[in-house]
Amino acid sequence: MAGIFEVFIDGESFFRFRIKSPDGAVIAVSEPFEDKPAVVAGIAAARECAGMGLVTDLCPAAVVREPAATVRPSAVPHGAGPQARHEPRKAADGFRTRAKELRRASAAPRWTGAA
């Protein structure tokens, strides 16, 4: 299931939207908008940019640390690594089911007008 966009009015009477994960956690909150058409345009822009957004690492190199639970390659005997990546993909990988869900979601109305 994909994230959910919720439109709401903040304490200063501006329209905003928030993106929630499938488990209900708030991932992001938008900037304030003057009216509903503007917030709808903001959601459209967020949807368009989300799929092709680039990541820029601004952290200094000295701050990067190795996770504590990392297994070093020298500690793993040759051939003892995960084998799943060497197996060919099976036809039942869920792609067709996911494609049907995406087609169904794209056919549904994007804006319910409830808010």
Return the pLDDT at 88: 46
Q: Quick count: other Cβ atoms within 10 Å of Cβ 17?
A: 19
Q: Per-residue pLDDT for the chain (115 aa), expressed as one digit of tens each?
A: 678 999 999 999 999 999 999 999 999 999 999 999 999 999 999 988 877 777 888 888 776 566 666 555 555 555 555 544 444 444 555 555 555 555 555 555 556 555 5
Amino acid present at 27? I
Set out the domains of the chain in order of their start, with CATH numbers: 1-52 (3.30.160.160)
Return the pLDDT at 62: 73
With beta carbons less than 8 A apart as the criterion, state whether 29 and 47 touch: no
Q: Quick count: other Cβ atoms within 10 Å of Cβ 59?
A: 7
Which of 45, 8, 35, 4 lies closest to 21 in space, CA to CA?
4
Cα separation, 56 vs 41, in Å, equals: 25
